Amino acid sequence: MGLGRKKIAFMFPGQGSQKVGMGRVWADAVPEARAAFEEADAALGFPLSRLCWEGPEEELGLTENTQPALVATSIAIHRSLSVLAPQLVPVAVCGHSLGEYSALVAAESLGFADALRLVRRRGQLMQEAVPVGVGAMAAVIGMDPEAIAAIAADAAQGEVCAVANLNGLAQTVLAGHKGAIDRAVALAKERGARKATLLAVSAPFHSPLMRPARPTMTPATFTTDVRQAARDAWVSKQELTPILPSKPI
């Protein structure tokens, strides 16, 4: 259970948290972390570790690269913690959007190599659905969700501008066409948002613009070996959402 009587959970991050150099300190210090990156390189057939550690940032920021890079780094850190702090035993794991794949690997419900290949394909399909520069996402902080939904409606002007994620009462994420998201950011600032900023992503995740990725991604998901208990919950959720898995950044 870890930390005496306290229960802990591990939450794995999603896109937008990537940066050049991520995971290198862990790989240099912990053999298990370096081994995780080596597994990732072998599973994908290219030096993902070099991209994580050296960039360039523009290439790392492409969703087909970002997604496996974040899964690889998350699992490298998770494996490091199991060695460096074995007392930190979570009672649950969860993930923010893409982080759900990392959580499934940490829970031993999904193989690491399978997860890497899935998210690599997922990223390719999502980028094909909306080419780089066409879509965007933004986080709006300090306004209630209803007010932000109204901003999205006003900013759309014939394009897609949708509420993608409710990250809490104080933060809502919008996704859609780049022009509409730019207008939404400007409107949010005009209407009193504490902060409205574009996110470091290359596609409008969790928006209707991602739906073209679903027909190809669904068979890949259903044919992947996921332990049954996790699969039942995971597949059930995928049937309700336009793109795998849940919430963003």
Show which residues are catalytic: 97, 206
Residue labelled with tokens 């520069």: 133
Task: Find residue 110's DSSP bridge partners.
Answer: 226
Task: Burial-class residue 114 by CB neighbours within 10 Å (0-12, 13-18, 19+).
Answer: middle
**How many beta carbons lie within 10 A of that of residue 231, not counting itself?**
17
Q: What are phi and psi for residue 3, nearest 5 degrees?
A: 50, 55
- Whether omega for the bond prior to residue 242 falls within 30 degrees of 0, making it cis, is no
Decide: 241 and 207 in contact? Cβ < 8 Å. no
Please report, in angstroms and rounded to a whole number, the separation of the first and last CA atoms in the chain: 29
What is the C-alpha to C-alpha distance for residues 244 and 227, in angstroms, rounded to an integer? 17
Both tokens of residue 127? 């980028």
Both tokens of residue 8? 């802990």
